Amino acid sequence: MFKTLHKYASPMHFHALARRWSTPLLWLSAVLFAAGLAGGLVMAPADYQQGESFRIIYVHVPSAWLSMFAYMVMAGAGAVSLIWRVKLMDALARAAAPLGASFTALALATGSLWGKPMWGTWWVWDARLTSELLLLFLYLGYMALQSAIDDRRAAARAGAVLAVVGVVNIPIIHYSVEWWSTLHQPATITRLGAPAMATSMLIPLLLMALAFQLLFFALLFIRARSELLEFEQRSLWVRELLGQGSPR
């Protein structure tokens, strides 16, 4: 098993793996999106309190989950890279940052579009909203560091330190609705006991979450390929790959 792990931690093998998997992941994600949208927009009944506006949950919650998941990928890869200096991990962290930033922005924007009709305001300095905004700034800080430092290794290490320190924000986001219980509603799915949601509403949410997740991996793989090529531009495998014509 460690041999396999070691093999795929090599940039060349991971690049090949990412090339093989990105397209099937995209297709699978598209199918799940179609099913999730049909379920969420058409089949699920309107909420008895929030009416049709609750349908925003099907894009808001998956993007909010991904905003945190992408951060864990970025910080996790950063931590491994700080300890063992694995180039692949630097590439993954760099690939995850713009994706995480965009999903965080999407979670904030869709939350705002949901908050306006339900809470009567686009924005409040509620603990959940504030910690999610901080998450966006952590991503942007990481990306700024990457473009400010020319030496890729140094940039990756500085970014990894920032990402690892910023990890304290993740449990704060998750528990903010319980610790401060201000305006944002508490978790619907990830709570102890049964989810507080009817099955016909829950299934589309899970489909959409899976669709988002698979799309994230497809995007992560495509972005990681670019990073690996740049990191490894002097190595033989990249030269051979580029020599073949147009590797995709």
Partner 1 sequence: MTNELREFFAMGGYGLFVWSSYGLTALLLVGNLVLAVRRERRVIRELSRRLPVGAGHDPA
Query: Footprint of partner 1 on this chain (CB under 8 A)?
Result: 26, 41-42, 46, 51-53, 55-56, 59-60, 63, 98-99, 102-103, 105-106, 109-110, 113-114, 116-117, 215, 218-219, 222-223, 225-226, 229-230, 233, 238-239, 242-248
How near is the Cβ of 101 to partner 1 at its closest, in Å?
A: 10
CB under 8 A, 24+ apart: contacts of 163-168? 163/71, 163/74, 163/75, 163/78, 163/79, 163/93, 163/138, 164/75, 164/78, 164/79, 164/82, 166/71, 166/75, 166/135, 166/138, 167/71, 167/72, 167/75
Between 130 and 235, name the residue whose CB sits nearer to partner 1: 235
How near is the Cβ of 244 to partner 1 at its closest, in Å?
A: 7
Q: Which of 168, 209, 2, 3 is nearest to 72 (CA)?
A: 168
Between 172 and 188, name the residue whose CB sits nearer to partner 1: 188
How near is the Cβ of 114 to partner 1 at its closest, in Å?
A: 7
Tell me the C-alpha distance between 85 and 83, whole Å: 6
How near is the Cβ of 78 to partner 1 at its closest, in Å?
A: 20
DSSP letter at 244 equals T
How near is the Cβ of 159 to partner 1 at its closest, in Å?
A: 18
Between 122 and 179, name the residue whose CB sits nearer to partner 1: 122
Give per-residue burial for 36-73: e unless 16+ CB within 10 Å, then b.
bbebbeeebeeeeeeeeebbbbbbbbbbbbbbbbbbeb
